[in-house]
Amino acid sequence: MFYESGYLAGQHLYDHQLKAPKDLGDFVVQLQAVLKDLNVGVLRVEESDPERGRFVLTVSEDLDCSGLPELDYEVCTYDEGLIAALLERFTGKSFRVKEIDCWCTGDRTCRFLAEIATP
């Protein structure tokens, strides 16, 4: 349910908050500004390989989990859906997004691996 909610929010965010990004750089700059303005978090692209459809993104000061106690599992399922929808809207391709580091597992930023979904 959280993934689907994030996915719907990502579609809406792209359609109503971003202004027809010209390229990947413009997409990232616009998205960073919107996420910061909405107090969702601070987005950073750590790795970008658009040809292979692979990205590593971090979200610091994450609305979902920053400040929560340490747990033994990742909690940012909503963000996985949000990021997947945003990348899908921008590229026109489906993405699989998985949180690989989380504030709640002892990391100080949430990190996501996004890859084009293969059938």
Q: Which is higher by pLDDT, 21 or 118?
A: 21
**pLDDT tier at 32 (50, 70, 90 boundaries)?**
very high
Q: What tokens does 64 get? A: 């979902």
The reported pLDDT for the residue numbered 49 is 95
Percentage above 70 pLDDT, the chain: 93
Which residues are CB-contacts of 9 (< 8 A; sequence separation ≥ 6)?
78, 81, 82, 85
| Token pair of 76 as six digits | 């940012």
Question: CATH no. for residue 108?
Answer: 3.30.1380.20
Tokens of 27: 């997409």
* Contact criterion met (CB below 8 Å) for 4 and 81: yes
Range of 89's domain? 2-116
Per-residue model confidence (pLDDT) at position 107:
78
pLDDT of residue 73: 67
Report the alpha-carbon distance of residue 19 to residue 100 in Å, rounded.
Answer: 30
> What tokens appear for 117 in the block?
């979904």
Percentage of residues of the chain with pLDDT beyond 90: 71
pLDDT band at 76 (very low <50, low <70, confident <90, very high): confident
pTM value is 0.91
Q: Work out how many domains the chain is built from and give that number.
A: 1
pLDDT tens-digit series, residues 79-107 = 999 999 999 999 999 999 999 988 878 77
Which amino acid does the sequence have at 54? R
Q: What is the enclosing helix (H) or strand (E) of 112?
A: strand 110-116
Per-residue pLDDT, 74 = 74
13-27, 45-59, 69-83: least confident range: 69-83
3-state helix, strand, coil in the chain (%, to 5): 40, 25, 35
